[in-house]
Structure 1
Amino acid sequence: MIKRSLFTPFRRYWAQERFQLSARVAIALIGAVVPCWYLNASTAVTPLVLGIIASALAETDDNLTGRLKALAMTLLCFLVASLSVELLFDTPILFAIGLFTSSFTFMMLGAMGTRYASIAFASLLLAIYTMLGAENSQDLWYQPVLLLAGASGYGLLSLLWQMLWPNQAVQHSLANVFEALADYLEDKSRWFRPVENLDPQQLRIQAASSNARVVSALNQVKMTLLNRAKRVQPNQRGHRFLSLYFHAQDIHERISSSHQRYQDLAAAFRRSDILFRFQDLMHQQAVACRQISHCLAMGHHYRHSLDNSLALDELKESLDYLKAQKNPDWRSFLVQLDYLFSNLATVERQLANLNNPDVEPQEDTELADSEAHTLSGLWLRVKSQLHTDSQLFRHAMRIAIALTVGYGVIQLLELKHGFWILLTTLFVCQPNYSATRQKLTQRIIGTLGGLLIGLPLLILFPGQEGQLVLMVLAGVAFFILRNQQYTLATGFITLLVLFCFNQLGAGFAVMLPRLGDTLVGCVLAVLAVTFILPDWQSRRLHKIMAVAVTTNRDYLAQIIGQYRIGKKDSLSYRVARREAHNTDAQLSTAISNMLAEPGRYRLAIEECFRFLTLNHAMLNYISTLGAHRTQLDEHKTHRLIAQAHSQIHLQLEALAQQLSDKHCAQPPETDSSLEQALATWREGDDHSVRLILQQLFLIQRMLPELHSLANKLAARTQQAAKTADAH
């Protein structure tokens, strides 16, 4: 029992990805610090430790072969960055030119993919680390060799880790997906409150934010699977991971669906417990998703709870009881509740069968690979971003100019420890104003806290041994907190660097300059993101809205085609579905970022939120059609669906064009008789036909307001442009 009580908390921490990264960093730091302490090589500690930190920040997930290639490229970039600094350090003009060129080039490497973006950022970081210790460098090769030694040590440890636990990244990514699904289910369950005057807009905005997190988690697990299990053979472990991913995608589509206007359901059943039972079932399914996430992370076998089955049975009994009342006012609403019950019953079946991937086998297991794998393909990706409309190009220019100006400030004021300015600028300057503003506050508070704590610690632990232990602990804490609590992480990395430079006898000397340089670096970052090719969200919202409408249109087209040929989760269908959810998430993020920008750069906030609400509702309605795909045989039904879809398709095309061009326009004329046919259905129609007609009607009904919002946004944009020209 004692052994189990000790082992369980360890497994719980071990199941978290950030603690595994921190464990690798701890081992690498100890492996660098202990030999230096034993050999009394105090000057080697700093470059070795900083090399480890840079290598850990450059690390991305991949299979063993991919990690080998990434490590080789990382070390090559590190060598170029470090040697360039050593060679040009005493020639300020050439150094400034090299700093601008290398900063811009490294940042543009991000166009090739996330792996290259991480390597590029870490390479710039290592270059600045080299600048910090350039004055104490004994010769040209001293710092580069030690920095690369630290980076190589961590890289080799990471390779060994990959060989020992090759599937950990997949398990963690899948666990994150089910955790995000649980949050989304909880948010959707709040819609089932039988209260009068239910306002769904805030609920939809919150659900759109949760949906964005699910989309991000699904994208991450797809990249992880592409590296390991793209073409797995049956009976291999990768087959189960792939099956879980497809299950999660299907569950996500079903959770995303909306079968009716929820305010109408709340008004109709405010004196019944039926909506509470739907809410309880969704809550139970959210609990199941969290349990699945826990089991995936811990490597345990998942057992589905009987509570879910009981909740489903009780819901079915309540639904049957309401049907037995034969209330004519409830007839249409009960049909919608039947669809919703069927959808949740399918989700329940999928959750119960997660451990049996062969119960519902996936016919098409190919994953869409959007990464470039050839030199020509990589170059084309970079080339396609070399224009001022590219967010990456704008960010690269800001970083390059800000770092070069920062170097000019160092030279002009003859700041001995001034390279902290460049370090702060690199970390604070983000691709948009909102993220930069957040980092700014966190960086200043974290640095100040680290310095205030560092002073008494340097006094209390004057010996080398104590400081080396604190250095390792600070490095580990930084990686534990880096993605969750950046302010605390900044405080710990400040402590680590203080202890590093104290090994060179400069611990107390860098404290005040570090704070001043941090403030200067933050100012440069804010000025860069505000005045150098600024990327205000209001100026690109219309494009994101247009793309969101277009991807919804394409998703709907894929679904309508399958009502003739039958349900098939083909690659083209899954790509269209993912793109629609991706752009919905991008729209939600862009509007949230706009709220953090200065007031004069915000545009029509109420209209933007209303557009987000309607776009997310449309995606929900389309997802409902996708969740209930089935083959229909009646020719008359197909003709009506085709006519309705054709009309919606044309309206969505016109809406997307209107948003893209930023001009006011009249929506295309609609066929009123067709709208009437969608609004009603025959008693003889089966449930699938009723569902399709209903969802198409719900989509059709929101299009006039979307056109109206597009006109309002265009008018606001034109007015803002005239005001800007006047000033």
Structure 2
Amino acid sequence: MLSLRHLAESDRFADVMRVLLALTGIAVWSTLAGPADAIVPALLGAIACALAETDDAWRGRLRGLIVTLLCFALAAVAVKACIGTPPLFAVLLPVGTFLLVMLGAASGRYATIATATLILSVYTMIATDSAGTAAGGWHGTLAILAGAAWYGSLSLLWSALAPQRAVRHALARLFESLAALIEAKAALFEPVRGLDLDALHIEFSKRNLRTVEALTAARVALLDRIGRRQPRGRSAARLGMFFVAQDIHERISSSHYPYDELAGALYHSDLMFRFGRLLRLQAIACRERADAIREVAPLRTIALPRAALDDLREALAYRRRSDPPDEAIDDALSALLDNMERLQAGIEDEGSLRDDADISLQDNEPASIREALGRVRLRLNRRSMHFRHAMRLAIGMLAGYALMLALHPTHGYWILLTTLFVCQPSYGATRRRMVQRIAGTTAGLIVGWALLRLLPPGDWRLPVLVATGAAFFAFRLRRYALATGVITLFVLLCFDRVGAGYDAIGPRLLDTLLGAVVAAAAIRFVLPDWRVRRLDDIVADALLAYGRYLERIADQYAHGKADDLAYRIARRDAHAAQAAVAGNVAELLGEPGHSRDLGERALRLLTALQAGLSHLSTLGSHRQSLPTDDALALQTLARHMTHGFDTLAGHIRAGTAASPLDTPALLAGSTTRGTVGAETVRLVDRQCLLLIRVHDRIAAIAKA
């Protein structure tokens, strides 16, 4: 029973069940009441609509469904009207592909709908061609749209009956990613010498990338359900959990002192081990919270046992009594303990949203069609990744169509489908998809050949057809090769419904290979977008975001801590920018054509930026109102440092050498401030000095 409940509460269960119900309904209706030849296009339409689905509340899903069906109808009608005229179709195909990909620049929701529309267009070609009605007959097109509308209606009803499921799963994924991030942080507190800190920092950056993505998904899900209303009840509790997760993320991202120096200074102490143990306990608590959210179980506090913090306090007190004083180490240890204590205080207040608190969330969706078109216009240039991918995919689809006409016009649209699925915005992603697609298609065709021989002809094969369509959605996000295999089997059984099952096996494998070759050629030769060439621009964007984050932090040391929307946006932008660098470097390392030195340079830039973000997070974690003179000095220092980051960003973007920051001038007077809050002032000064070192380190790496 527990395993069944765990399965029912898993992330993919609801999606798979909706698809299974939709496909079963189509199969039953076509068998008992409807025209038998409508089953294949209706099934393809339902799958295309499922691919266009987003995790919105029912109102947002209704709006999305209307837009989706409108786009599907326009695409299906255009394909049906032009497919019998190759010259006209050769013009429509790349133009339509380019427009749909550029539509995705408006927002993630538009991108999902645009991609699904492209897929439905190719499904329309396959359904039309397999039925042998390229020149006329609109029954298949209407069946595709009917299948899409049927799935959309089922999804809308499901969303209305379970409005909070998507929020629960988004929060569960968020706390899971936080647990993994905290474990990566705990690895930095291993009390041993000779650790490969660069490798640990890179691993931390990878996990931070997933945490940033999870934070974004949770914010979108909450914003869609709450909107501009004042949250109450469960909505307020879940919003409170989200804000606690943000606080955990900032505090775990902080770095109070270089870890190698800290480990060396505390080599004969157990303090590093104690801090690491606290972090691992926090990771366990976050993972338990994720399980409880997903399974709708009672939520227990994720605050650490007070005894664990008490033990750490006693250990710190003993060190101060027994070891020679070391102001820098002592301040770092005190700040680490203070950070853990404040984290626990925030966790204990979880769910309590003060009336005067700013609980608004930023909505990144365009507010109007004009704003959506404005976003698209901004990306109509050669430097835009959206534009380059749109051009690349449009030319790839045209090349695939020309190849199809030259080799075998009958049943050749699988070339276009393979090109569409394989051609990704980056070389690394395209290469992975190509290998997975070929392996999955080959396995699917072999299994399909065996099933066609073993299963008797007729409607007995329908359950297998339905099951393979649902299985595609179970595997497509995490095991793409397996998903490709089952969807290949699905389409092969669809061809068998029109009497072309065996005849499709050989051409399908050839078409997959040809489509993969077209996609590989497109990513290699059509406006190639090598990540090594984009690295400097993305690093510059991160430096600019760091400057904005630092300005917001400095303001709060002057006016007091406030997690208002402006501060949270600046913090999120800084983390998102660093995550973009991490993603870019991961893709860069899988690309050909760059030297080992360039790869090492990229990794050094990534670790330096991660260090800079850690020091900024430390400043953000310890925000409090300072005396006026100290606050003014910090604001002045922050302005100079922000100007330095902005200037460095300009040099990196232009490919010119940058000068190091004038450290003595920037820190002049910082060590002679008043004694009120002296420990906090010293922490701020030390973090600013470390940020200046990060600036100079990045400048040196960029110049190399």
Q: State the Cα distance separating 1:348 from its structure 2 match.
A: 2.6
**Matched residues in 2 for 1:308 and 1:557: separation?**
36
**Matched residues in 1 for 2:312 and 2:395: separation?**
62
Deviates more, 1:536-545 or 1:39-48: 39-48
**Matched residues in 2 for 1:623 and 1:278: separation?**
18
Q: 247, 250, 256: which one pairs with 2:247?
A: 250
**Matched residues in 2 for 1:313 and 1:305: separation?**
17
Q: 645, 648, 655: which one pairs with 2:641?
A: 648
**Matched residues in 2 for 1:40 and 1:162: separation?**
28
Give per-residue Cα distances to partners, 1:299-340, cap 9 Å, x unaligned.
222113686433223222222222221422x44313211111
Q: State the Cα distance separating 1:599 from its structure 2 match.
A: 2.6
- The answer to whether the 8 Å contact 1:450/1:492 transfers is yes
| Letter aligned with residue 424 of structure 2 | Q
Give per-residue Cα distances to partners, 1:96-126, cap 9 Å, x unaligned.
1111211111111101211111111111111
Give per-residue Cα distances to partners, 1:394-414, cap 9 Å, x unaligned.
111111111111111111223
Give the aligned partner of residue 707 of structure 1. Answer: 699
Give per-residue Cα distances to partners, 1:206-253, cap 9 Å, x unaligned.
111111111111111112222121323253432222222111111111
Give the aligned partner of residue 239 of structure 1. Answer: 236
Q: 469, 472, 488: which one pairs with 2:463?
A: 469
- The answer to whether the 8 Å contact 1:538/1:603 transfers is no
Q: 88, 93, 101: which one pairs with 1:99?
A: 93
**Matched residues in 2 for 1:387 and 1:601: separation?**
29
SS of alignment partner, residue 17 of structure 1:
coil
Give the aligned partner of residue 346 of structure 2. Answer: 350
| Letter aligned with residue 510 of structure 2 | G
Over the aligned positions, Cα root-mean-square deviation in angstroms equals 2.0
- The answer to whether the 8 Å contact 2:469/2:490 transfers is yes
**Matched residues in 2 for 1:465 and 1:409: separation?**
35
TM-score (norm 2): 0.96
Q: State the Cα distance separating 1:203 from its structure 2 match.
A: 1.2
Q: 1:48-127, aligned counterparts within 5 Å?
A: 48-127=42-121
Q: 1:551-562, aligned counterparts within 5 Å?
A: 551-562=545-556
Give the aligned partner of residue 724 of structure 1. Answer: none
| Letter aligned with residue 167 of structure 1 | Q
Q: 1:186-265, aligned counterparts within 5 Å?
A: 186-265=183-262
SS of alignment partner, residue 370 of structure 1:
coil
Q: 1:132 to 1:684 in 2, by over 3 A?
A: closer
Give per-residue Cα distances to partners, 1:256-278, cap 9 Å, x unaligned.
10011111111111122111111
Q: 142, 145, 148: which one pairs with 1:145?
A: 142
Q: 349, 367, 381: which one pairs with 2:361?
A: 367
| Letter aligned with residue 186 of structure 2 | S
1:297 aligns with 2:294: yes
- The answer to whether the 8 Å contact 2:551/2:639 transfers is no
- The answer to whether the 8 Å contact 2:16/2:474 transfers is yes
Give the aligned partner of residue 722 of structure 1. Answer: none
1:12 aligns with 2:18: no
Give the aligned partner of residue 664 of structure 1. Answer: 657
Give per-residue Cα distances to partners, 1:547-604, cap 9 Å, x unaligned.
1111111101110111111011121111110110000000011111111111348872
Deviates more, 1:113-122 or 1:237-246: 237-246
1:638 aligns with 2:631: yes
Q: 1:237-636, aligned counterparts within 5 Å?
A: 237-304=234-301, 308-328=305-325, 330-354=326-350, 356-358=351-353, 363-600=357-594, 604-635=598-629
Q: State the Cα distance separating 1:440 from its structure 2 match.
A: 0.5
- The answer to whether the 8 Å contact 2:175/2:287 transfers is yes
- The answer to whether the 8 Å contact 1:42/1:504 transfers is no
| Letter aligned with residue 220 of structure 1 | A
Give the aligned partner of residue 723 of structure 1. Answer: none
- The answer to whether the 8 Å contact 2:544/2:649 transfers is yes
| Letter aligned with residue 259 of structure 2 | Y
Give per-residue Cα distances to partners, 1:609-660, cap 9 Å, x unaligned.
111111111110011111110001252x335434433432232122111112
| Letter aligned with residue 399 of structure 1 | L
| Letter aligned with residue 209 of structure 2 | A
Q: State the Cα distance separating 1:684 from its structure 2 match.
A: 7.0
Deviates more, 1:149-158 or 1:9-18: 9-18
**Matched residues in 1 for 2:493 and 2:49: separation?**
19
Q: State the Cα distance separating 1:427 from its structure 2 match.
A: 0.2
Q: 1:514 to 1:603 in 2, by over 3 A?
A: farther
**Matched residues, number:** 701
Q: State the Cα distance separating 1:494 from its structure 2 match.
A: 0.6
Q: 1:114 to 1:450 in 2, by over 3 A?
A: same
**Matched residues in 2 for 1:183 and 1:251: separation?**
12
Q: 1:585 to 1:362 in 2, by over 3 A?
A: farther
1:686 aligns with 2:686: no
SS of alignment partner, residue 409 of structure 2:
coil
TM-score (norm 1): 0.93
SS of alignment partner, residue 573 of structure 1:
helix
| Letter aligned with residue 259 of structure 1 | H
Q: 1:540 to 1:342 in 2, by over 3 A?
A: same
Give the aligned partner of residue 179 of structure 1. Answer: 176
| Letter aligned with residue 204 of structure 2 | A
**Matched residues in 2 for 1:345 and 1:470: separation?**
56
| Letter aligned with residue 691 of structure 2 | I
Structure 2 unaligned segments of length 5 or more: list them.
Answer: none
Q: State the Cα distance separating 1:202 from its structure 2 match.
A: 1.4
Q: State the Cα distance separating 1:460 from its structure 2 match.
A: 1.2
Structure 1 unaligned segments of length 5 or more: list them.
Answer: 1-5, 713-727
**Matched residues in 1 for 2:585 and 2:70: separation?**
40
**Matched residues in 2 for 1:126 and 1:585: separation?**
33
**Matched residues in 2 for 1:280 and 1:642: separation?**
36
Q: State the Cα distance separating 1:464 from its structure 2 match.
A: 2.7
